[in-house]
Structure 1
């Protein structure tokens, strides 16, 4: 019997890459099978009326901008109530309850469209006077039915900013401007949803910059939201882009983002996303999902070129937990300061 061929040192990487590719392909097949079953009557199917068009916001004095924003909030509140009635009549009572809460007086809904799963942007803080604006871009499994959880993170960040600055010159925008993919879905492994979302994010940030041109804008991009932000990076006037809990961006390094913003990256030590294979495979048969599988280089790897910040020892959903290390550091980045060490 012939002896086995000796392995050369270069054999390990191709074998490891092949295993990663097979793992990703297996995950995609599993998602493709599971998704039609799990999503048979998903939130995207809940009907909603077309919202009335909005008047573009323009810059002005704080008093003028406050009046314009109040009119926008009132207009979106009416759209929310119409969508609530439609959802309730359809039997989507959980969606109706979420919309009812969003339509309460005092809530500052900057944008809303209940169709195709729902889109929204809510302001926490006084946007008319803010000189620091944070835009939260969520990842997988974030929708109107789970909106309270997303908003809780925005509230926690705003509270931390107020504690650190001692004032109210900050605002957080909870931007749910796209249909986020489900964790167990082909869409969560491919860039299609991000490519659809990026123009909307670019437009939203452009509006914020237009009405508060001197404000410092920071994009806080969680999980799949980092893929969205990477697609929008070159077109936004953001001063900083923060990628946390990221599976990758679809780019090899910071230079490929073509942005003047300072790019930060962080990952908590107990975040499961660390186990996601950082490969990117071209699959033309997935054209409807973005023609690629996986998101490539790890933004938390020093080789990616992002500035890194301490993100604590929590899990994938713990970055905005009140009092946590990552929340404090995200607030410092929004303020334009250096994050603290762990």
Structure 2
């Protein structure tokens, strides 16, 4: 979905915690009315783009739900899945009891198969979910999807659909693959006062980094992890410290990251960037003033990312079956990208 962000001031370096010098694509801003006009232009463009994107199923912050299940550090995935299925069932009962049929219906959809694989489930407030598609314990290729704004328990199915599409595409070439849908943070609203800053991304990065370390121990021996980061999720990934298990990071539909180049990111992974020709976010000004905006466009050669083909997709369509973007992202996860796609701009 459309980009957004949280409260607070983002990092000028994109390497973590909200400190550093502000950057823009054109160098330091001059003081005075010129910067004010540019800032107003940025605000207007982002808000206009945001309101053009449909927003469905507003979050339900007051729905009662049980506390998340807790596990020992070395608990096997199967035991986590079983405990979280039971937790979802209890969350359904509580939502019904509180006369919240919308949330109850969405939770029933999540548990419908009886075999859903949730590493994490927290039904309180906007909700947090980490779901696995495929056999994680034997997988040697694992893609972690990080969503953008307005992704909550109440809109989870659209995020889940992308994860399912990617997993189906991966397993046609590589059965030992898995996809992890990581809704592990409170995503910002598209139309909100948080839409231009990186506070939520900094909070999310502090959760995502340790999760990736734990995930490596749950996946197959020597598993190769890839981060696929959509929209505001690309701001999250850019601020996440990744270990050697993360081989690739793909940024798509990105508003920018707050960093001026790949060299400023806290990762040793190969960094990819792509944007569909139908994605409205390409019209958002890639500027940064103080803690507002996200600076250099990741698809700009100056950023230094490797380009991947995204085709004509719109902002929410990168993982739809049959698209060039889905093929490209699957190839990044599997390590089968064509040589001409791997040109490093920086």
Given the alignment of the two structures, is residue 23 of structure 1 paired with residue 22 of structure 2, yes or no?
A: no
In 1, distance between residues paired with 2:297 and 2:73?
Answer: 38
Call closer, same or farther: CA 1:253–1:119 in 2, change over 3 Å.
Answer: same
Determine the structure 2 residue equivalent to 1:297.
296
**Larger relative helix fraction:** 1
Query: Which of 56, 66, 80 is the equivalent residue of 1:49?
Result: 66
Q: Given the superposition, is the C-alpha separation of residues 303 and 244 from structure 1 closer, same or farther in structure 2, using an over 3 Å criterion?
A: same
* 1:232 match: 240
- Report runs of 4+ in structure 1 exceeding 4 Å deviation: 13-18, 25-31, 339-342
* 2:214 alignment partner in structure 1: 207
The structure with the largest alpha-carbon Rg is 1
1:263 equivalent among 260, 271, 275 = 271
The residue aligned with 1:286 is none
Give how far 1:101 is off.
2.1
**1:226-253: CA deviations, max 9, x gaps?**
0111111445731100000000111111
* Aligned partners of 2:59 and 2:153 also within 8 Å: no
Q: CA separation of 1:320/1:29 partners in 2, compared to 1, >3 Å: closer, same or farther? A: closer
Q: Name structure 2 gaps, 5 residues minimum.
A: 1-25, 342-346
| Alignment partners' CA distance in 1, 2:48 and 2:303 | 30
Give matches, 1:152-301, under 5 Å. 152-165=161-174, 168-212=175-219, 213-234=221-242, 237-282=245-290, 292-301=291-300
Larger RCO (CA under 8 A, 6+ residues apart)? 2
Other-structure match for 2:90: 82
The correspondence of residues 9-158 of structure 1 with structure 2, limited to 5 A, is 18-26=36-44, 42-57=59-74, 68-104=76-112, 105-158=114-167
| Cα pair distance change 1:46/1:264, threshold 3 Å | same
Does the Cα contact within 8 Å between 2:223 and 2:245 map onto a contact in 1? no
Q: C-alpha distance in 2, partners of 1:159/1:153?
A: 10
Distance 1:184 1:158, change over 3 A: same
Distance in structure 2 (CA, Å) of the matches to 1:29 and 1:317: 17
Report the CA distance shift for 1:234/1:109 in structure 2 as closer, same or farther (over 3 A): closer
Partners in 1 of 2:277 and 2:35 — Cα distance?
24
Q: Retained in 1: the 8 A contact 2:244–2:268?
A: no
Structure 1 residues 173 and 109 mapped into 2: Cα distance closer, same or farther (>3 Å)? same
Q: Say which SS state the counterpart of residue 82 (structure 1) adopts.
A: helix
CA distance in 1, matches of 2:176, 2:100: 38
Unaligned runs of 5+ in 1: 1-9, 59-67, 283-291
Cα distance, 1:340–1:136 mapped onto 2, change above 3 Å: farther
